[in-house]
Chains A and B, each alone.
Chain A
Amino acid sequence: MSGNHTSLAISEDVRRVETLLEQRGLLDAGEIDRRIDEFLAGGSPANGARIVAHAWVDDGFRDRLLADANAAIRELGLSMAGGLQEQRLKVVANTEDVHNVVVCTLCSCYPIALLGPSPTWYKSEAYRSRVVRDPRGVLREFGVELPAEMRISIWDASAESRYMVLPRRPSGTDGLSEEKLAELVTRKGLIGTAAV
């Protein structure tokens, strides 16, 4: 697999190509930064939290979300179409029997258009190589201790789909509004490295 994406040499090469494209009039100055800003503007973990909270209070929405997430999130005014093409979103639900964890072992695929940039550790070689082999050990390092009988399902974003975890609703939250429920959901919860 490729290494961490932090090489200074790569950054210099990218900058050189960008400059050449600008000199030849194929790109406007700053166009790439602008496009990236536009791509990221719509994405935020708060979108994921809204989706999760709505699924917790509306069983019909939960079913539609798990069957066809791209269609379901449009009900909330959200979409996976922020990039060059709409990407398929697959939402996987934690249950009392199964805990899901998302990784991209080959690079760093993540639903950026919906959730914004991924955490730095998500792109690290350590997380990408270890979580497929020893998820229980990796989750323990994140402070997540799962019962021995809880099955762990890993989802490797190796092609065109992007994944989001639907965490379980915490107990003792019966009286909370949908907005308050959304505040309980973390970015790690949407990846599976936190319970919620």
Chain B
Amino acid sequence: MTETYSAGDRVRTTTADPAYHTRLPRYARGAVGEVLERAGSHPLADDRARGRPSEARGVYHVRFAARDLFGGGDHDVTVELWADYLEPLEGDDE
């Protein structure tokens, strides 16, 4: 089972760079962001693209500050991410 998250939760995306199709954009790997909302449940695209069975699991809108993704910029970027790409951020672990 994948973790579930709530609005306001801080999460870190995985740093995995798989050899197959994935929907975690490279620019958002290993980055810390904030969950805005849950955007339903869907089978994982990484599995479907390889013809594997996949249960529906949570998909979340996660907002990142541009400076945390690109080292600069005053905008923010919201990416829609499966729970598989996320891990909870522990306490003051920045």
Contacts and interface: CB of A to CB of B under 8 A. Distances in A.
B45 A159 contact: yes
Contacts of B25: 1, 105-106, 156, 158
A1 B26 CA distance: 8
Interface stretch (A49-57, A133-141, A169-177): A133-141
Instruction: Please classify how large the interface on chain A is, using the bins under 10, 10 to 19, 20 to 34, 35 or more.
Output: 20 to 34
B40 interface: yes
Interface of B: 23-28, 39-40, 42, 45, 59, 61, 63, 66, 69-70, 73-82
B76 A151 contact: yes
Contacts of A1: 25-26
Contacts of A153: 63, 75-78
Nearest to A105: B25
A154 B78 contact: yes
A156 B75 contact: no
B78 A156 contact: yes
A132 interface: yes
Contacts of A156: 25, 28, 77-80
A122 interface: no
A159 B59 contact: yes
